[in-house]
Amino acid sequence: MAPSFGRSISFPLSPARASRPARHARSISLPACRSHPLLAHLQAQTAAARAWATASASASSSPSPSTGLALIDALHAALAELLLLPEPQAAVRRPSAASDRLLDAFLLLADAHRGFQEVLLALRRDAADARLALRRRDAARLASASRAQRRGDRELARLAARSAARLPAGAGLGGSGTAEEAEMAAALMDAAAASAAASAAVFSAVASVSAAVSLCSNKKALGAFVAAAFAKKPETPTTADVAQEKHEELERCIDECESGSEVVFRSIVRNRVSLLNIRTPAI
């Protein structure tokens, strides 16, 4: 039986086009795509975030934390768009241990970025205290600020280690379903893993900047630093001048990260709420 294409066009044809054979009507249809454009967009953002995290780990110079935060935010924006489609919703709605792990991963990410914001606030306060101590040549206050800053560095390292324990990339959510649903599910897991890896790299990058401006690691080093600062001649730069510059660099880094981290935190929370709503739709 010859195929009929009479329903392939929803608007009237001109007389000239209507007189053409029916086989020509098939040429105006779009080719079938294997992947949805929103899925391809999410995969591209996932690859960009993962590539930045990998490059940050092997870079000789300190990577820009604000760049990493922007990439994470772009990833979650793409994820939010994808979650509007029925295929990923069907994959998430199907109860499974892997689906629960995906929800847990987003909760851990939100907690990590909230903790990151708290550390940034503490580091800003410690850097300001250290700069004031340098101007006043207050050795005791300088030592206290240095100890507090090192505690912040350790907390950032802990956040980075927790975030690095991420989901396996492309693991999928398990269960039965169509090939499209399986592909969407794998993309969701991969996005969560890449977001965690990039977050860990951001935390480590800020920790590196903070560690570079730490004034001392022990009392002996602190004594040498204070002696050099107190012996400074007006025309001769000393360790104190370098320390002031490093603290200004840290404060600029904190300025860039604070707004970006808040945006990322809200994006993560919104996506987790979306996942929860898909799992337990309102009746």
Amino acid letter at 55? A
| Mean pLDDT of the region 245-254 | 82
Q: What percentage of the chain carries pLDDT values higher than 90?
A: 35
pLDDT 10s digits, 205-230? 999 888 877 744 344 445 555 565 55
Q: What is the mean pLDDT of the chain?
A: 77
Residue 4 has pLDDT above 70, yes or no: no
- pLDDT score of 12: 43
Q: Where does the pLDDT of residue 63 fall: very low under 50, low under 70, confident under 90, or very high at 90 and above? A: confident
For the chain, give the secondary structure using H, E and C. Answer: CCCCCCCCCCCCCCHHHHCCCHHHHHHHCCCCCCCCHHHHHHHHHHHHHHHHHHHHHHCCCCCCHHHHHHHHHHHHHHHHHHCCCHHHHHHHHCCCHHHHHHHHHHHHHHHHHHHHHHHHHHHHHHHHHHHHHHHHCCHHHHHHHHHHHHHHHHHHHHHHHHHHCCCCCCCCCCCCCCHHHHHHHHHHHHHHHHHHHHHHHHHHHHHHHHHHCCCCCCHHHHHHHHHHHHCCCCCCCCHHHHHHHHHHHHHHHHHHHHHHHHHHHHHHHHHHHHHHHHHCCCC
pLDDT 10s digits, 130-148? 888 877 877 788 888 888 8
Most confident of 5-14, 168-177, 190-199: 190-199
- pLDDT score of 44: 96
pLDDT 10s digits, 16-26? 444 444 444 33
